Every structure is written in C-alpha cells, then in structure tokens.
Structure 1
Amino acid sequence: MIGVLVAADRICLVVAERMAADTLQHSQQLPRRPDVSIDGFPFLTQLAAERFGEIEVRLDDLVVGSGDRTVTLARVHLTLHDVHVFDTFHRATSRSGTATALITYAELSRVVGVPLSYAGSGRIVAQGSVTVAGESVRGTVSAAPTLSGTQLSFAQPQATVAGIGIPGADAALAALLARPIDLSSLPFGLHVDAIDTGAAGVSVTLSAANLSYRR
C-alpha cells in the first residue's frame, strides 16, 4: 500500500513539474520549456496546500540584452522560494528568486568580435588587430569585467602592442573592449547582482522578489 502511495506521489509530481514548466515558458516567452524540479516530499501534501518551499528551474541558451547586441547565458539555475500556486499551476507567485548563470568565453568572443580568454586574477585578455595611421597593428588588451548597473563593462584596460609601437595603437587596441554588454531584459523578473570572472567564463549572480507568473 505504501509503495502504491509513493508511486502515485511521484507520478503526480512529474505531471505537476511539466505543468509548471509550461506556465513558466508561456509567461516568460521562452523558446523552449525549462527543466523544473519541485523540492520536498511528499509532493501531494504540498499540492493540497498549494504552497511549495522551493522550485528549481534550469535552462541553457537564455538570450538576454536588447537591440542588435544580445548575449546568451548558459547553465541558468533559478531557485524560486516560497511558491504559491493557483488553478492547477496556471498561475504562481513566489516571494523571491535567486539564480546563477555563466557567460562562456566563446560567447563573449562572439559578442565582442575578437577572441577572449581568461588572463587570471579576475581579468580577461583579447587578441586583435587595429588600423592606426594606415598601418595594421596586432596586439592584446587585458581588462577586468565589471558590473555597471545593468551592463557588463571592461575596466582598467591594459594594451600590449606586438612589434614596433605606433602612437595611438594602445588606445586603439583598448577600444576593442570599449563597448559594454547589456544584461537587461531578463526573464523571471531577475536582475544582475554580481559577476565573477574565472577560468570557465564570467559567472553571473541574479535575484528577484515578489514574482508572479501566469500561463
């Protein structure tokens, strides 16, 4: 008998997770349905109360930003806290949400337009060529990814010119990283709290409060 009840609990959980994922996809206009995990056991007890302590949401390839310059966040992991559901998961509210994501160096390179890699000590390095006084100049520029409001910018640029130096070459190389990356227009009501630069890419920490989703 206990086994039957546990099996029924798990089956209902799978169905509910799919319904919650559908609601989140529809309300946030996501191109794909996210993976949703509802924490806690037994599930049916929480369902009867229409309240859940935490719901985990995972998705990849989340495109954010605006205009013609967007960036893709990978490994997005969102935890919704104190979730109250209505109408069989067609509507939900959450007291708060916390999330993490990653911007890979391959993605940063695509957005910036030059190859980027980790330089250590919280800095990145870009390799590129610029034209100065009619001459093509190659070199590198390192910088520290920094959060400025809703934008990812590159602070404290330090350029190194390959070969014979040309006046203005340092500034031209530094200009490769002059344009910030917009991190606004985020789904789920999230905003960026902090970033951290490491070997895998730029890790992003996000949060939100007083959330409401409707299918």
Structure 2
Amino acid sequence: MRALRIFLIVAVILGGLFVIADRVAVGFAEDEAADRIRTSEGLSSTPDVSIEGFPFLTQALSGELDDVRIGIKDYEASTSGNDTTTAIRIEDLDAQMHGVVFSGSYSSATADSATGTASISYAELLKAAKSETTDVTAGVTAQVVGLSDGGNGKIKVTVEATVLGTKLPQPISVLSSVSVAGDTVKVHADTLPNLGVDLAEDAVRSVTDFEQKIDQLPGGIQLDKVEAAPNGVDISVKGSDIRLVG
C-alpha cells in the first residue's frame, strides 16, 4: 500500500510538472506566432493568438495544431467600390484556424481551413456610399447622409435631396438589403425614396445602392455572409489553405 501511495504521489507530481511545462510552451508559441503574424500581415498591433487543445507539446511534436484562434482589432483592409480605392477598418476580426501545419521555427504556417466573424461599423460602410452630393438628374441632387440598423436584417439608408433648388424639409429613409457577392458587400434598396418628382429608377439607385469590395483579408480568407446588426454589419468569413506566416 505504501508503495502504491508513493507511486500515486510521484505520478501526480510528474503530471503537474508536465502541465506546467505544457502551458509555458504554449504561451511561448502563442507569443512567437503573434509576432510573426503581425510582421507578415503588416499589422499596427500584435494580434491575440490562442492555441487550443491539450496537450500542446504532443501537437507541437507532430508539427500540426488542431485549432488556433486569431483575434485582430481594427484591421485595415484595402477596398474598392464606386470607382474609388480606400481603406476600411474592420473591427474585431476573429478567425478560427483548423489543421495548422507549421515549421519548427514558426517561419511558416498554413491552415487547412478557417471560419470566423468580423464587423464593419455603419460609419465605415458609409464611406462606400454616395456620401457626397450627386446629380441625380437635371435640377435634382441627393446624397446619403446616414446608415443605421433598420431591423429584421435590413439597413436604413437616409438620403437628403434638393429638388429645383429647394432642399426637402426632411431626409428620406429607405430599407435596404445587404448581401455578399464574392469579395464584395452590396447594399440594395428594397424600395426607392420618393423625392417628389418622377425619376428613372437607375438614376435614384445611383445614390441609394452601393457596393464595397474588401480585398486582402489576412491569410487570404474570404467573405462568406453578411447581415445588418445594431452597430454595423456582421460578417462571416471562411477559407481553405490559409497561409498565416511565410
């Protein structure tokens, strides 16, 4: 019995030491990976990297990690839309990487697949709209002055207009649908605003409808789905063969 107790005590101590060593190793690996990703993606701040699964050391020895979560705040993505190229700030980009194969020095890392979420504020998305005064037709100008949550997955697009030199007393709002086509977020008015004069539909839509192309997301992940939310649009992203480093 005494020998059994000694064996159990030794096993508990060794197990505890292994857990400590494992957690120290994973912490070092997370910090190293975060620095490599920051440099590779040209980020202004170090991302949050979390290597999931236990134990880490056995995964590290195999050269493949089951799951790695990467969180990036205020990511500046290159964009294009409405004949302009700008940058748009993506808030809280959170990606879950699956099947991450890496080199021993962490100089290269590739994920078999990835899923994640991100958000873009309405203020940022407004940059893609016709936020400057636009000639709709002779004597009629309009501009988008605000985007907000319209409820039920819709975006409320608010437009100010001037007709024959007279500014309409109140801005006009329409509900719009938001969708993703490839790497582009599209906003399409469900109905057209009534500006008090007969106008061709395509003329009005030149103001109310707009799209925003979002390029060069980290590692080559792609837009998947988008929906309106209280503070902006929530985006789902996905990808395969994602190159994280190298």
* TM > 0.5: yes
Which is worse superposed, 183-192 or 109-118? 109-118
Aligned equivalents of 2:201 and 2:220: distance in 1?
40
Give runs of aligned pairs for residues 69-84 of structure 1, distance below 5 A: 69-84=86-101
Supply the RMSD in Å over aligned alpha carbons: 2.4
Aligned to 1:98: 115
CA shift for structure 1 position 95: 0.9
State the match for 1:46 in structure 2.
59
Please give the alpha-carbon distance, in whole angstroms, between the structure 1 residues aligned to 2:56 and 2:79.
39
Tell me the CA shift for residue 38 of structure 1.
0.2
Q: Is the 8 A contact 1:117 1:124 kept in 2?
A: yes
Q: Are the aligned partners of 1:139 and 1:173 in contact in 2 as well (CA < 8 Å)?
A: no
Cα distance in structure 1, aligned partners of 2:203 and 2:164: 11
Uncovered stretches (5+) of structure 1, i.e. residues with no partner? none
Which of 154, 158, 174 lines up with 2:187 in the alignment?
154
Q: CA deviation at 1:139?
A: 1.6
Answer yes or no: is 1:36 the counterpart of 2:49: yes
CA contact (8 A) 1:161 1:170 kept: no
Aligned residues: 213
Is 1:206 matched with 2:237?
A: yes
Q: Secondary structure at the match of 2:124?
A: helix
Give the 3-state SS of the residue equivalent to 1:21 in structure 2.
helix
TM normalised by structure 1 equals 0.86
Paired with 2:23 and 2:93, the residues of 1 have a C-alpha distance of 25
Residues 129, 173 of structure 1: 8 Å contact kept = no
CA distance in 2, matches of 1:198, 1:166: 33
Query: Which residue number in structure 2 is paired with residue 123 of structure 1?
Result: 154
- 1:152/1:182 contact within 8 Å kept: yes
Are the counterparts in 1 of residues 79 and 88 from structure 2 also a CA contact under 8 Å?
A: no
2:30–2:49 contact (8 Å) kept in structure 1:
yes
Q: Deviations over 1:114-158 (max 9, x none)?
A: 221111222111223123332223322321112233211112342
Deviation, structure 1 residue 185:
2.3
Aligned to 1:190: 221
Check whether the contact 2:128–2:211 (CA below 8 A) recurs between aligned residues: no
Q: Does 1:144 find its partner at 2:157?
A: no
For residue 95 of structure 1, what is the amino acid of its counterpart? D
Q: Which residue of 2 aligns with 1:10?
A: 23
Change (3 A) 1:177 1:149: farther
Any runs of at least 4 consecutive aligned residues in structure 1 with deviations exceeding 4 A, and if so which? 169-174
Instruction: Tell me by how many angstroms 1:193 deviates.
Output: 1.5
Of 191-200 and 106-115, deviating more is 106-115
Counting aligned pairs with the same residue, the percent is 27
Cα distance between partner residues in 1 of 2:194 and 2:157: 12
TM-score w.r.t. structure 2 length? 0.76
TM-aligned CA deviation for residue 169 of structure 1: 10
